Amino acid sequence: MYNRIHPPEPICHWNVFLPPWHDGMASRWLNNYAAPGSWVLDPFGQSPFSVLEIARAGYRVLVTANNPVSAFIIKVLATAPPTLDEMQAALTLLGKSKSLSGQSLIEHIQSQYLLPCPVPDCASHADNSKSKSFEVERYIWHENRKQPSQATGKCKVCGHTTELELTDEHHKSLPPRFHPWR
């Protein structure tokens, strides 16, 4: 239930670093005492929420923020999020970037999710190469293990889907610096 004397605290883990703020306070005051679109100076930058509220109310804001947490929040909240095209372009550029070994990030990540097919008569074994055709959907890790213990996936050659118990042979086929993202 809303209490006018003690409004509910906003849910924000930054609250421990910021002074209390009551939404609507700045815009109500400005609507009474300042011309629409005029400049507002916030010399202390105490609350990033006041700066955003003033800007959303149609005023131009000049703020100085000595609190690095306030400055960071103002910068993040006042910056427009990237568009989908911008995000895709950034991910494409990142994926094509090459490591010192010459391998792209996409190739590196994909290599960590390919294993030899567990089906002995799979066509991927026909040329006796250690072809990696089993596409891992996810690895299963157990506590205190440096390598995954199981992998779930599907062979792109024979279509076999399974949860595979990983052996030392499988661990050897993983890249040498296999990183345990959890």
Structure tokens at 106: 């996409």
Contacts 24+ apart (CB under 8 A), 144-149: 146/180, 147/171, 147/174, 147/178, 147/180, 148/180
Query: pLDDT at residue 88 above 90?
Result: yes
Query: pLDDT at residue 59 above 60?
Result: yes
pLDDT tens track for 63-82: 988 888 888 888 888 888 88
Residue 50: burial class (beta carbons within 10 Å; 0-12, 13-18, 19+): buried
Q: How far apart are CA 63 and CA 72, in angstroms?
A: 13
Query: pLDDT at residue 5 above 70?
Result: no
Query: pLDDT at residue 4 above 50?
Result: no
Query: pLDDT at residue 160 above 50?
Result: yes
pLDDT tens track for 130-141: 678 889 999 888
Q: Do 56 and 78 meet the contact criterion of CB atoms below 8 Å apart?
A: no
Q: Do 57 and 27 meet the contact criterion of CB atoms below 8 Å apart?
A: yes
Q: Which range is least confidently modeled, 29-33, 144-148, 154-158?
A: 144-148
